[in-house]
């Protein structure tokens, strides 16, 4: 819901939801469309997710969406985007969170290559602290991946609780009719369809850390299901981590352990990464891209206008 550069509203997009004047589109996915708006007092940029009509017509989906909202509101901590408002009973349910402008990790890696070791350690520590807050609230994120980690000048942010799951196994919300999670960023137990614990998030954080440092997935190239199959067999063929520096290799070996009970907790991962100082924590090339994205994302400071948006509005 955050980090993407705003785009013009489409002709058939709403212009206002529950008193929130919509300024731009941020993105669109299987659950709905995300819009940029501002808090009612105009002080805070907000990302508002409007659920698709077909999902809104499902009572089962509505109940699960309401549980997602309640779950998200329970989670608070560093490096986490907070829920600021919602209405699960609206004709089309919606959820509003703080809007954090920045550069998604997948875009940073694709455009600027791997991160240096100090940046990787701070990225991992920040994400681990966020996961610790999620786990403390009794939830499992289930979709830790580069696209859900946002790089900002103040540190990393963990995004998207849309498929979170209660640690007791009770589903909070899943995308209707689809496999939950991203195959290339699943733990072995997730890929095998077994019950998940917070240790699953720790494994996927290890995948992200390894990729951030090397610029490539530790289980190699290929389609999502091909990589997920390799991950599922990691007890027989673990990834080769020899190219990673020793300080990171120790963390990766622990987080990517085949058995969930052999992995450290998220809080322990943060401790393994050491102290963090997010002052100038990114290399210059990435920091410049973060600054450019932030400036583009925060242009519409006046909630009364969207005249800044370039281009012709499109129709679906």
Q: In whole angstroms, what is the distance from residue 308 CA to residue 292 CA?
A: 16
Q: Is 49 annotated as a binding residue?
A: yes
Give the closest residue to 151 by CA, choosing from 298, 6, 283, 301.
283
Give the whole-angstrom CA distance, residue 113 versus residue 269. Answer: 24
Please answer whether residues 129 and 80 qualify as being in contact, where contact means their C-beta atoms are separated by less than 8 angstroms. no
The interaxial angle of helices 198-214 and 117-136, nearest 10 deg, is: 170
- CA separation for the pair 266, 134 (Å, rounded): 10
CA gap 276, 309 in Å, rounded: 37
Give the 3-state secondary structure of residue 289.
helix
Rounded Cα distance between 310 and 6, Å, is: 10
Q: Pick the catalytic residue from 143, 201, 240, 302.
A: 143
143 part of the active site = yes
Answer whether 294's CB lies under 8 Å from 2's CB.
no
3-state secondary structure of 300: coil
The token pair at 300 is: 């519409």
**Is 175 exposed, middle or buried (CB count within 10 Å of its CB: 0-12, 13-18, 19+)?**
middle
Q: Binding site for ATP: residue ranges?
A: 49
Known catalytic residues are: 143
């Amino acid at each position: 819901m955050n980090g993407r550069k705003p785009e013009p509203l489409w002709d058939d997009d709403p212009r206002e939801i529950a008193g929130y004047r919509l300024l731009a589109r941020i993105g669109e996915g299987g659950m709905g469309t995300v819009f940029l708006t501002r808090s009612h007092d105009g002080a805070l940029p907000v990302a508002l997710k409007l659920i698709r009509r077909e999902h809104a017509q499902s009572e089962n989906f509505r109940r699960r969406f309401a549980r997602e909202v309640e779950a998200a509101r329970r989670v608070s901590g560093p490096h986490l985007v907070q829920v600021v408002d919602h209405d699960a009973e609206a004709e089309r349910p919606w959820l509003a969170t703080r809007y954090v402008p920045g550069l998604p990790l997948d875009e940073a890696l694709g455009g600027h290559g791997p991160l240096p070791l100090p940046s990787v350690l701070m990225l991992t520590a920040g994400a681990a602290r966020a996961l610790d807050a999620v786990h403390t609230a009794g939830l499992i994120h289930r979709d830790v991946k580069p696209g859900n980690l946002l790089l900002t000048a103040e540190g990393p942010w963990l995004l998207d609780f849309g498929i979170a799951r209660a640690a007791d196994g009770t589903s909070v919300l899943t995308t209707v009719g689809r496999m939950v999670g991203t195959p290339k960023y699943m733990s072995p137990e997730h890929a095998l369809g077994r019950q998940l614990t917070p240790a699953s998030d720790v494994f996927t954080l290890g995948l992200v850390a390894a990729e951030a440092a090397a610029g490539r997935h530790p289980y190699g190239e290929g389609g999502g299901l091909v990589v997920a199959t390799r991950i599922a067999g990691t007890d027989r063929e673990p990834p080769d981590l020899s190219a990673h520096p020793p300080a990171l290799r120790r963390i990766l070996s622990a987080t990517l352990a085949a058995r969930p009970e052999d992995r450290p907790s998220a809080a322990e991962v943060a401790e393994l990464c050491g102290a963090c100082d997010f002052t100038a924590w990114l290399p210059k090339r990435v920091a410049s891209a973060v600054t450019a994205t932030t400036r583009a994302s925060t242009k519409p400071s006046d909630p009364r206008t969207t005249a800044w948006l370039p281009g012709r509005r499109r129709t679906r």
